[in-house]
Amino acid sequence: MSVEVVRDAQIREEYAIALHALKPILHNLPAVIVVIDGRVGSGKTTLGRFLAWRFNVTLIETDLFLHRNKGKFTYRNDQIAGIIDHRMDRDRPVIIEGMVALRLLKQVGREHDFHIHLICDDFEGSSNTEPEWEKYVADYRPNTKADLILNL
C-alpha cells in the first residue's frame, strides 16, 4: 500500500484518492452534502473523521443518532435533519456517514451531492445487520451508483 503526505502526516492511498475527488466539490466550502456508506466495520467513521478534519467541515456520525424504539433501532431523523438544515442555511458543507446513509437522507428529504461507497475485502460479516444491508444495497445500489468506491 502506498502512502501520501498531507499536512506533514502520512495517510493511506485510499484517503488521498478521496481527498483528490472531494477537492473540487468542497472548494470554497459550498452548501453540499457528502455521503459515506458501507457495511459495518468498513471504515466509514474513520474516513469521515479524516475528511471532516482535513476540510474543516461538519461530520454527522449517524450511529450517534440511533435509539431503541419498541425493540427496534431507529434514527433520530429530526435531529439529523436539523443539523443538515443548519449547515445548508449557512452555505456550509456537511459529511454524513452511516451504513444506510442514502436511505436516511431520503427520509429527511435531502439529496446528496457526492457519494463515497466503502467496501472491505476483509469484511467478516455481522449477522444482525446483514438483512438490513442487503435490502439497502437492493434499494439504492451504492456499489454501482456511487461517485467514488473505495476498498479499505
Tens of pLDDT along 34-64?
A: 999 999 889 999 999 999 999 999 999 999 9
pLDDT at position 1 over 50: no
Range with lowest mean pLDDT among 26-35, 50-59, 113-122: 113-122
Question: Long-range contacts: 60-69, Cβ < 8 Å, 24+?
Answer: 60/84, 60/94, 60/95, 60/96, 60/97, 60/98, 61/97, 61/98, 62/96, 62/97, 62/98, 62/99, 62/101, 62/104, 63/98
Q: What is the pTM of this model?
A: 0.89
Range with lowest mean pLDDT among 19-28, 29-38, 64-73, 104-113: 64-73
Q: In whole angstroms, what is the distance from residue 99 CA to residue 107 CA?
A: 14
pLDDT of residue 32: 97
pLDDT of residue 69: 79
Helix (H) or strand (E) holding 119: strand 114-119
